[in-house]
């Protein structure tokens, strides 16, 4: 499973602690720093130095208590600055209070900027404390070296001056380093934020595409179901239409036995247009079913006979003749006869009569029933 990337804003939130968390962390770090100062004074200092050191710790502890009491204040960050600056001030006043200085405790001046960096976690905090410490050191130590503050020097002034500039250099290095590290972190956060935004956009696009695919699949499935249903309906309609056409064909082209071995197939004009192709098949089936010897095609109900219908009538009579059946076409009216002549349709090979009654009479005569 792939690890999830924490958004840059969440990373910054983790780094930028709340006021109360800052106070807790600051109290812990400053308390440890005060403890370290006390241990150094107890080990390396005399009775007066220990007394002064305890006084300094008491003053700084009091300020720390005030800061903790105002931990929900919007100015808590600046209260922390005051606390850290006071530590620098108290450390720098150690020499004037004791009356002698050797620069041995000046290394502790680097502690406040480090505490600011750890607690506040911003380059601004480190810069503020470094600048404040530099100003305080320059005033106090400069006054000592210039003779404005009377004090006994336990080491040469040149050594103290070098030590003093080294302390200023270290403070500058701390501020610059923290500034560069924070700037690099911000640039890294910017890159991560940009990458995260791209990943989020890609993820959103992929989710949208997935949703669209799901919708398209659902629509496709629905369309396929509808097509299948329509297919089934069309097939059912086609089957019904075929059955209906068959019924219509049977109704429009019935083969009726009227005498022994004689059938009549009446043709009806309007229905004949849709069923004329089945004349031959229907006639042959009727002849076979009734074992007829004579078949009468009654066209009385046909208003006119065109070339196609005439051709099919001739084909039907020819097919019946091959089965040994005599065919008679009854009901050809004068106007129909004229049409047939004008179309060039030859019915000379087929027996024709004027009416169905004449056709039945001819069948009786041929069968010897009369």
Which of 190, 207, 232 is the C-terminal boundary of a domain? 190
Taking residue 177's Cβ as centre, other Cβ atoms within 10 Å add up to 13
Q: Tally DSSP H helices, then E strands, for the chain.
A: 13, 7
| Residue found by looking up tokens 């006869």 in the block | 337
179 shares a domain with 269: no
| Residue found by looking up tokens 């076979």 in the block | 288
Give the model confidence (pLDDT) of 90-111 as tens digits: 778 777 777 778 887 788 788 8
Residue 19 lies in a domain: yes
Residue 352 lies in a domain: yes
Residue 97 lies in a domain: yes
Strands annotated E in the chain: 100-101, 152-153, 256-259, 262-268, 294-301, 326-330, 351-353
Buried b (16+ CB within 10 A) or exposed e, 116-150: bbebbbbbebbbbbbebbbebbeebbeebbeeebe
The domain that contains 347 carries what CATH number?
A: 3.30.750.24
270 shares a domain with 133: no
Residue 261 lies in a domain: yes
pLDDT tens sequence for the chain (370 residues): 444 444 444 444 444 445 567 677 777 777 777 777 677 767 766 676 677 777 777 777 788 778 777 777 777 778 888 888 888 887 787 777 777 788 877 887 888 888 787 777 778 888 888 898 899 888 988 888 888 888 888 888 888 888 888 888 888 888 888 888 877 877 888 888 888 889 999 999 999 999 999 999 989 988 888 898 888 888 888 887 776 666 655 555 678 888 888 889 888 765 555 555 578 888 888 888 888 899 998 888 888 778 888 888 888 888 888 888 889 988 888 887 787 778 777 777 788 888 888 888 888 888 877 6
Which of 190, 211, 245 is the C-terminal boundary of a domain? 190
Residue 25 lies in a domain: yes
Residue 98 lies in a domain: yes
Which of 190, 219, 242 is the C-terminal boundary of a domain? 190
264 shares a domain with 172: no
Split into its structural domains, the chain has a count of 2
Give residue 266's domain range.
Answer: 256-367
């Amino acid at each position: 499973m792939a690890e999830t990337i924490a958004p840059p804003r969440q990373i910054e939130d983790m780094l930028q602690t709340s006021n109360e968390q800052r106070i807790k962390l600051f109290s812990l770090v400053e308390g440890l720093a005060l403890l370290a100062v006390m241990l150094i004074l107890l080990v390396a200092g005399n009775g007066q130095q220990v007394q002064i050191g305890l006084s300094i710790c008491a003053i700084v502890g009091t300020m720390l208590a005030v800061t903790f009491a105002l931990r929900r204040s919007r100015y808590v960050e600046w209260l922390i600055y005051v606390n850290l600056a006071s530590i620098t001030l108290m450390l720098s006043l150690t020499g004037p209070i004791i009356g002698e200085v050797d620069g041995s405790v000046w290394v502790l001046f680097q502690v406040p900027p480090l505490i600011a960096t750890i607690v506040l976690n911003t380059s601004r905090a480190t810069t503020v404390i470094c600048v404040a410490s530099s100003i305080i050191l320059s005033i106090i130590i400069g006054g000592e070296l210039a003779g404005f503050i009377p004090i006994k020097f336990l080491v040469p002034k040149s050594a103290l001056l070098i030590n003093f500039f080294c302390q200023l250099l270290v403070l500058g290095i701390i501020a610059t380093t923290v500034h560069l590290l924070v700037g690099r972190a911000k640039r890294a956060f910017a890159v991560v934020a940009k990458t995260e935004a791209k990943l989020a956009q890609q993820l959103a696009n992929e989710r949208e595409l997935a949703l669209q695919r799901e919708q398209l699949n659902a629509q496709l499935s629905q369309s396929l179901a509808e097509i299948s249903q329509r297919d089934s309906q069309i097939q059912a309609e086609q089957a019904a239409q075929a059955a209906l056409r068959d019924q219509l064909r049977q109704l429009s082209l019935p083969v009726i036995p009227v005498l022994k071995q004689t059938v009549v197939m009446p043709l009806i004009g309007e229905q004949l247009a849709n069923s004329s192709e089945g004349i031959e098949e229907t006639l042959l089936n009727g002849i076979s079913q009734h074992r007829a010897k004579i078949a009468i095609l009654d066209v009385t109900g046909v208003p006119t006979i065109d070339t196609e219908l005439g051709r099919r009538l001739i084909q039907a009579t020819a097919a019946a003749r091959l089965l040994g059946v005599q065919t008679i076409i009854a009901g050809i009216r004068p106007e129909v006869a004229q049409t047939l002549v004008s179309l060039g349709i030859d019915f000379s090979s087929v027996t024709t009569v004027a009416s169905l009654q004449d056709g039945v009479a001819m069948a009786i005569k041929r069968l010897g029933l009369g």
